[in-house]
Homo-oligomer: A and B are copies of this chain.
Amino acid sequence: MSGFFDEMTREELSRDGRLRRQAMLMGGAALAATAAGSLLPGGARAAAVGGTGKPIDFLFAIYPNGTLLDFAGPNEILSRIPNTRVRFASPAGGPVTLEKGIVFGPTEKLADVTKVDVICVPGALDLSAMMKPETLEHVRRLSEAAQYVTSVCTGSIILAASGVLKGKRSACHWAFLNVLKEYGAIPDAARVVKDGRFMSGGGVTAGIDFGMAIAAELRGAEAAQQVQLLVQYDPQPPFHAGNPADAPSKVRDAVYKMLPGSKDGLMRPIL
């Protein structure tokens, strides 16, 4: 594991070095400093707001058939907050084939991750790759040691199945929300839910709001707002159909039909 990250760090330094050299050709040191950190305050890591103290190890536990945006959303926030290292792990390690044949990597092997500050389990329709007892055991082990235990979308069902959400309030994709009860968790329809050291986001796109919320929790509101401005997170959906209460009834009824059980929050994920 440490070898993997040593290598990543070397690669990143080398990439930043290349960018810095290119930037120097274009116009001087101030830009070069920016380029080194991409579009993020992390470029001036230790000096930035909220960036002092121990680095934060933030782990996304991803898996085959997972939904890309569930973690690509919060990753875009978390990878830009100061002094925070985003890591990806999966049951088998290496590149992971997500929904729609998208291949994402690299990932560490979940079993090789000893401890992280934050674990985040994103969602999918097909959760089967995470539902094996030995994989759930790694989720439980890392969750027990983590400062924050988090999820996006149906990732909360994986956390719940690992046993760590008993008696805890949690968000989930609206169509699956009440499945949480079957594992002793308390469904909460809010977009972002915090119950002590447990934080969760609702379906798919809620991962960005979750990302903002945990960024503020970890590094303060000002650091989170800086990243919000960097990624221009000023959402303006052209329609109001993002939850069953708001969607036009024709749209809602079509989706209820498409997702059996969803009307009662009891759609079955693939386990």
Q: Which residues of A contact B (CB under 8 A)?
A: 8, 11-12, 15, 19, 22-23, 26-27, 30-31, 34-35, 38-39, 41, 43-44, 49, 65, 67-69, 72-73, 75-76, 79, 86, 95, 99-106, 125-126, 128, 153, 173-175, 191-192, 202-206, 208-209, 212-213, 216, 221-222, 224-226, 228-244, 246-248, 250-252, 254-255, 258-261, 267-268, 270-271
Nearest to A7 among chain B residues (CB) is B101
- Whether B76 lies near A232 (C-beta < 8 A) is no
Give the one of A225, A234, A244 with max B CB within 10 A: A234
- Whether B104 lies near A79 (C-beta < 8 A) is no
Rounded to whole Å, the gap between the CB of A129 and the closest CB of chain B is: 12
Rounded to whole Å, the gap between the CB of A235 and the closest CB of chain B is: 4
Rounded to whole Å, the gap between the CB of A180 and the closest CB of chain B is: 15
Residues of B within 8 A of A208 (CB): 205, 235, 237
A-B contact pairs, 22 of them (CB 8 A): A12-B101, A26-B268, A31-B260, A31-B261, A39-B125, A67-B76, A72-B72, A95-B103, A101-B106, A102-B104, A103-B106, A191-B236, A202-B232, A205-B208, A206-B234, A209-B237, A224-B239, A228-B242, A229-B242, A229-B252, A233-B237, A235-B237
- Whether B104 lies near A86 (C-beta < 8 A) is no
Complex Cα–Cα for A12 and B99 (A): 9
- Whether A242 lies near B232 (C-beta < 8 A) is yes
- Whether B72 lies near A100 (C-beta < 8 A) is no
Residues of B within 8 A of A11 (CB): 101
Complex Cα–Cα for A175 and B252 (A): 38
Residues of B within 8 A of A222 (CB): 250-251, 254
Q: A229-B252, A247-B225, A270-B19 are in contact. Are A44 and B258 (CB under 8 A)?
A: yes
Complex Cα–Cα for A38 and B23 (A): 43
- Whether B224 lies near A233 (C-beta < 8 A) is no
- Whether B126 lies near A19 (C-beta < 8 A) is yes
- Whether B239 lies near A225 (C-beta < 8 A) is yes
| Contact pick for A225, options B226, B248, B267, CB 8 Å | B248
Residues of B within 8 A of A103 (CB): 95, 103-106
Extra 17 A-B pairs, beta carbons < 8 Å, given A35-B125, A41-B254, A226-B241: A22-B126, A35-B126, A38-B100, A39-B67, A39-B173, A44-B258, A69-B72, A69-B73, A76-B204, A79-B100, A174-B232, A192-B238, A205-B235, A208-B235, A229-B243, A230-B258, A232-B242
